[in-house]
C-alpha cells in the first residue's frame, strides 16, 4: 500500500470488525454502520466476501466499510497460529491487522467474543450500555490502541528478537520462557491500563454484567507458534526477513463488543 493511502487509512479507521461467519450479526453491523458515518470500519477482504455470500451484501456496501488486505508476509504465520489455538483464521488476521493499522477490534456477536477470550489478558464488564456510553467508550478505546502502540511494539520486538536468538542457539526452553515473561509483563500493563480508562464501568448499576472491553495480545500468538517446528520457523523467518512488519503487528489490541442498545 502506498504510504499516503496507509496514513489516511490509519487516521480515519474507527476499528476493524470481526464476526463468526455462521452467526447472524446483521443488527450489530447495521448499528455499527449507523454510528460510523464519518469514519471507516475495516473488514478483512475474505470476511467481507464471506459476508456477501451469506446475505450481508447490502450492509457491506457503501463508504463506511473499508475492505482491508493486511500484509501478505503474515499469512503463513496466521495459519499456523490459527491451527495451534484452534481459532478462526480470520480472527487471527483481524487481531494482527488491528495492531498493524493501530486500530481496535470491533467484535460482533457472541461467537466473536468466544474467539477472542483465549487471547484476552484483561476483560472489563458493564451492564448493557446506552448509545451515548458506547460512543464514549469507543472513543476511549481508540486512544487506548494508539497510546499503547509504540511501547508495546518495541517491547514485543525485543522479546521476539531475544527468543529467536535463543532458539537459533538450540535453547528452545529459554526462548519460550522469554516470551512467556514478556506476555505476563504486558498483561499486567493491560489490566492497569483498562482499570484506569474504563473506571466508569465499575459505577454502572443494574442489569447483568456483560463483557465489553477485552485487551488482546498478539504476542501470545508468537508464544503459541513456538510449540511447533513449523511455527518456530515462521517466527524466525518473520523476525529475520520482515522485522518491521512483524513488530508493528504485535502491539496490544483493545477490542470492543458492539451491542445494540435496547
Specify the pLDDT at position 67. 82
Specify the pLDDT at position 53. 45
How far, in Å, are 109, 125, 143, 151, 193 from residue 147 at the CA level? 27, 22, 6, 8, 10
Specify the pLDDT at position 60. 59
Among 141, 72, 99, which Cα is nearest to 247's? 99
Q: Record the cell numbers describing residue 27, joined without a space.
A: 443488527
How far apart are alpha carbons 190 and 69 in whole angstroms? 27
Among 162, 213, 155, 143, which Cα is nearest to 185's? 155
How far apart are alpha carbons 118 and 115 in whole angstroms? 7
Q: Could you give phi then psi for residue 198, rounded to 5 degrees?
A: -110, 40
Collapsing DSSP to helix, strand or coil, 44 comes out as strand
Per-residue pLDDT tens listing for the chain (262 residues): 667 777 777 787 889 999 988 888 888 888 888 877 777 888 888 787 665 545 555 555 666 777 888 889 999 999 999 998 888 899 999 999 999 999 999 999 999 999 999 899 999 999 999 999 998 999 999 999 999 999 999 999 999 999 999 999 999 999 999 999 999 999 999 999 999 999 999 888 778 899 999 999 999 999 999 999 999 999 999 999 999 999 999 999 999 999 988 7
How far apart are alpha carbons 212 and 109 in whole angstroms? 12
How far apart are alpha carbons 177 and 237 in whole angstroms? 20
For residues 102 and 10, the answer to whether their CB atoms sit within 8 Å is yes
Going from N- to C-terminal start, the domains of the chain cover: 3-258
Interhelix angle 218-225/172-197, rounded to 10 degrees, is 160
Instruction: Enumerate residues 6+ apart whose C-beta is below 8 A from 234.
Output: 76, 77, 80, 225
Q: Record the cell numbers describing residue 180, joined without a space.
A: 512467556
Among 184, 13, 204, 215, which Cα is nearest to 107's? 215
Amino acid at each position: 500500500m502506498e504510504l499516503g493511502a496507509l496514513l489516511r487509512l490509519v487516521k480515519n479507521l474507527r476499528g476493524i470488525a470481526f464476526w463468526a461467519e455462521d452467526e447472524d450479526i446483521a443488527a450489530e453491523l447495521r448499528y455499527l454502520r449507523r454510528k460510523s458515518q464519518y469514519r471507516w470500519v475495516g473488514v478483512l477482504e475474505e470476511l467481507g466476501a464471506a459476508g456477501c455470500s451469506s446475505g450481508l451484501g447490502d450492509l457491506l456496501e457503501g463508504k463506511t466499510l473499508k475492505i482491508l488486505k493486511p500484509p501478505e508476509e503474515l499469512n503463513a504465520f496466521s495459519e499456523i497460529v490459527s491451527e495451534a489455538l484452534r481459532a478462526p483464521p480470520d480472527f487471527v488476521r483481524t487481531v494482527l491487522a488491528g495492531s498493524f493499522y493501530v486500530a481496535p477490534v470491533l467484535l460482533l456477536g457472541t461467537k466473536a467474543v468466544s474467539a477472542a477470550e483465549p487471547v484476552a489478558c484483561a476483560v472489563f464488564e458493564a451492564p448493557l450500555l446506552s448509545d451515548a456510553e458506547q460512543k464514549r467508550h469507543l472513543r476511549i478505546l481508540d486512544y487506548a490502541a494508539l497510546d499503547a502502540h509504540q511501547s508495546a511494539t518495541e517491547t514485543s520486538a525485543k522479546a521476539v528478537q531475544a527468543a529467536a536468538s535463543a532458539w537459533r542457539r538450540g535453547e528452545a526452553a529459554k526462548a519460550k520462557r522469554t516470551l512467556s515473561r514478556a506476555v505476563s509483563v504486558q498483561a499486567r500493563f493491560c489490566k492497569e491500563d483498562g482499570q484506569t480508562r474504563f473506571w466508569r464501568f465499575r459505577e454502572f448499576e443494574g442489569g447483568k454484567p456483560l463483557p465489553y472491553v477485552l485487551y488482546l495480545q498478539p504476542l501470545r500468538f508468537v508464544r503459541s507458534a513456538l510449540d511447533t517446528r513449523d511455527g518456530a520457523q515462521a517466527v524466525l523467518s518473520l523476525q529475520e526477513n520482515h522485522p518491521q512488519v512483524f513488530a508493528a503487528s504485535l502491539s496490544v489490541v483493545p477490542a470492543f463488543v458492539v451491542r445494540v442498545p435496547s
